[in-house]
């Protein structure tokens, strides 16, 4: 729908009572579709499509769907079976595994990724697949592997991986996991943005869903950010955008300080914006969710990760080494 990110559409659908089913190798097609709900209500649910998987080529998805159709919808039973029946290469399998598309088989994201890593691309893969297709060869020449005990992903890791691989999550929102620390620092949420009087100053953290700079807006940038309660609209004027350009361009999680503006004339529903005067890139907080074993109530962790939210205003005395980041992220501190 052009202006709206998929995460916004899915959130709005869920807010209106629509059930959302995750991407699944045995059920999803390329596009998002409607299907019977899993409960006994007799209603419909939205099944997310394979097109949502970052890094999955259309050709690989078509190969998967063709095999499924040829087998009259008979489900795939494992990562290995999907690999040798469809011929999907390592890249496609990695993308499906990372996006948790094998969860319907009872295979965890981490185990699916491990199994996908054993697939060999190119001509060397074909004899193995041919042998795997032959029951006698499977019983004789192939040596079975013992089950591998892999540590489960934490909730935070699962959420971050969802956003990285599909652009949205059906689990807890990342800011719900970070909210105790954000609230301790008196950062607002999107509910407060809608409720406080116009002219109020606040600091709003949010995941960036959309950046737009229309040609007719004279350099003004419009941002849509999201937290666990909803979305917020930010307006960044050219002078502010130039001052905080790095955060504006590449920040995944932003702290936006500014003044609330509300338009009520000629609108049926009031339109609320935050006129931004300062932006801070805190994408490192998402990286913190990737650290296993850190409970959300760990105040020491909050101090380490959130205590420097004003460091643009108060430069550090010395340059620190950059923190570990999500794949593809950038650090501008």
Query: What pLDDT is attached to residue 121?
Result: 65
User: Of 58-72, 96-110, 139-153, 223-237, which range is least confident?
Assistant: 139-153
Asked if pLDDT for residue 264 goes beyond 80, the answer is yes
CATH code 2.40.50.140 region(s) in the chain: 172-306
Task: Tell me how crowded residue 3 is: count the other CB atoms within 10 A of its CB.
Answer: 9
Enter the pTM of the model.
0.74
Structure tokens at 88: 């999907």
Closest CA to 46 of 90, 79, 11, 80: 11
Query: What pLDDT is attached to residue 127?
Result: 47
User: Of 68-82, 137-151, 251-265, which range is least confident?
Assistant: 137-151
Give per-residue pLDDT as tens, 188-208: 999 999 999 999 999 999 999
Query: What pLDDT is attached to residue 182?
Result: 92
Query: What pLDDT is attached to residue 332?
Result: 34
Query: What pLDDT is attached to residue 65?
Result: 96
Give the mean pLDDT of 286-302: 54
Query: What pLDDT is attached to residue 71?
Result: 86
Closest CA to 234 of 287, 188, 288: 188
Maximum Cα interatomic distance, the chain, rounded to a whole number of Å: 77
Give per-residue pLDDT as tens, 146-183: 667 888 889 999 998 998 999 899 999 999 999 998 99
User: Regarding predicted confidence, which is higher, 329 or 260?
Assistant: 260
Give the per-residue SS3 of 265-326.
CCCCCCEEEEEEEEEEECCHHHHHCCCCCCCCCCHHHHHHHHCCCCCCCCCCCCCCCCCCCC
Highest CATH level, class, for 172-306 = mainly beta
Percent of the chain with pLDDT over 90: 58
At 267, the pLDDT band (50, 70, 90 cuts) reads: confident
Query: What pLDDT is attached to residue 40?
Result: 66
CA 171/CA 165 separation, integer angstroms: 14
Report the mean per-residue pLDDT for the chain. 82
């Amino acid at each position: 729908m052009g202006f709206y990110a998929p995460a916004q559409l899915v959130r709005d659908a869920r807010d209106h009572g629509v059930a959302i089913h995750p991407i699944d190798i045995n059920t999803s097609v390329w596009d998002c579709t409607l299907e019977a709900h899993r409960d006994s209500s007799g209603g419909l649910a939205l099944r997310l499509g394979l097109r949502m998987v970052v890094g999955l080529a259309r050709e690989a998805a078509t190969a998967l769907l063709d095999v499924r159709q040829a087998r009259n919808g008979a489900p795939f039973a494992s990562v290995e079976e999907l690999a040798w029946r469809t011929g999907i290469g390592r890249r496609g399998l990695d993308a499906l595994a990372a996006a948790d598309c094998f969860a319907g088989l009872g295979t965890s994201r981490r185990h699916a990724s491990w199994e996908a890593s054993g697939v060999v691309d190119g001509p060397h893969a074909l004899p193995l697949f041919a042998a795997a297709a032959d029951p006698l060869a499977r019983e004789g020449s192939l040596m079975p592997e013992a089950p591998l005990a892999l540590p489960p992903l934490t909730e935070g890791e699962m959420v971050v991986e969802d956003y990285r691989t599909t652009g949205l999550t059906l689990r807890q929102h990342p800011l719900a996991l970070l909210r105790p620390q954000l609230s301790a620092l008196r950062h607002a949420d999107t509910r407060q943005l809608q409720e406080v009087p116009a002219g109020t100053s606040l600091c709003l953290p949010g995941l960036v869903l959309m950046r737009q700079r229309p040609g007719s807006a004279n350099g003004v940038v419009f941002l849509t950010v999201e937290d666990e309660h909803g979305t917020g609209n930010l307006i960044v004027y050219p002078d502010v955008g130039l001052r905080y350009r790095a955060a504006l361009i590449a920040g995944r999680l932003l702290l936006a300080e500014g003044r609330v503006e509300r338009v009520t004339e000629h609108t049926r529903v009031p339109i609320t914006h935050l006129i931004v005067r300062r932006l801070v890139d805190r994408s490192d907080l998402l990286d913190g969710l990737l650290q296993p074993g850190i409970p959300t109530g760990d105040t020491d962790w909050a101090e380490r990760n959130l205590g420097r939210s004003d460091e643009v205003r108060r430069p550090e005395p010395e340059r620190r080494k950059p923190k570990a980041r999500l794949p593809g992220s950038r650090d501008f501190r």
